Structure 1
Amino acid sequence: MEHITSTPTAKAPAERFTGDVYLDMIDAPAEPARLAAALVRFTPGARTNWHSHANGQTLHITDGTGLVATRDGHVIRVSAGQTVKCPPGEEHWHGGTDTTLMAHIAMVVGDGEGDGTTWLEPVTDDQYAEAVRKSDGR
């Protein structure tokens, strides 16, 4: 057994996120296990870039209300206590709504050479606004 002490909260890199996003690493992939887990906090309007995961991703929402959207236009509005599974290779993004923060624990199983994430382009303001509209019936 190993007691892992807290790591300092870090601001998420601007090349992968829009808006103010903060990360607290829980676990990083290390052989033989390949789990990566982080607590990620999104301020209103903040979001990830489009991305995918070689082995999929599980998001467990811990606080607030947020959005998870896929390239085909599917949008899920999520809130604390809910869990979303993104299948391997599915291009998606996630973040807070336009008026509320959202925090989740993001879990991915690495591919042997890192966490298996492929980062893509930012979600445009128009794409984000459309997802907000779809999620709340505006």
Structure 2
Amino acid sequence: MHITRTRPDSKQGPAEHFTGAVWLDEIAAPELPSRLRMFSVHFAPGARTAWHTHPHGQVLHVTEGEGRVQREGGPVEPIRAGDTVWIEPGERHWHGAGPRTFMTHLAAVEAAVDGTTVTWGELVDDADPNS
């Protein structure tokens, strides 16, 4: 057993992967052989990820606020505190806060053998009324 009592500093989400103000707090990145990675992600109103995929899928659990998630070709879905979302391996998607509220979620992924956890695509188009 290992108890972590200190955390890395919060990091701002880079502009090439996020629209708006997004902050990431690393919760878990245990040593190999574990490939679990977990973050608490804080989105300001209207902030969101770019389109992206995960090699082994992703679990999102909303801890506060209201947000949105969309898989490619599907409708934008509302998500609220208490909701858990399973995103399939390789499923292209984005997620973020609603237009008028903050949203925080826990994000858990399993890294691929090479350490990859995400493949980023383009930013979600602001002109899209569903974004």
Q: Output the TM-score relative to the length of structure 2.
A: 0.94
1:3 is aligned to 2:8:
no
Residues 44 and 100 of structure 1 are in contact (CA less than 8 Å); yes or no, is this contact kept in structure 2?
yes
Shift of 1:6: 2.1
User: After superposition, what is the alpha-carbon deviation per residue over 1:107-134, rounded to whole angstroms, capped at 9, x for unaligned?
Assistant: 001102224311000001023x324xxx
Name the counterpart of 2:98. Answer: 97
Question: Distance between the aligned counterparts of 1:25 and 1:123, measured in 2?
Answer: 24
Residues 53 and 88 of structure 1 are in contact (CA less than 8 Å); yes or no, is this contact kept in structure 2?
yes
Give the secondary structure class of the aligned counterpart of 2:59.
Answer: strand
Superposed counterparts of 1:1-138, under 5 Å? 1-4=1-4, 5-28=6-29, 30-127=31-128, 129-131=129-131
Q: What letter matches 1:2 in structure 2?
A: H
Gaps of 5+ in 2: none
User: After superposition, what is the alpha-carbon deviation per residue over 1:35-86, rounded to whole angstroms, capped at 9, x for unaligned?
Assistant: 0100000000100000000100000000000001011032220111110000
Residues 29 and 115 of structure 1 are in contact (CA less than 8 Å); yes or no, is this contact kept in structure 2?
no
Alpha carbons of structure 1 residues 97 and 34: separation in structure 2 relative to 1, 3 Å: same
Alpha carbons of structure 1 residues 54 and 29: separation in structure 2 relative to 1, 3 Å: farther
Shift of 1:29: 5.6
Q: Percent identity?
A: 45
Residues 52 and 118 of structure 2 are in contact (CA less than 8 Å); yes or no, is this contact kept in structure 1?
yes
Question: Distance between the aligned counterparts of 2:114 and 2:30, measured in 1?
Answer: 9
Paired residues, what number? 130
Q: Output the TM-score relative to the length of structure 1.
A: 0.89
More helix by share: 1
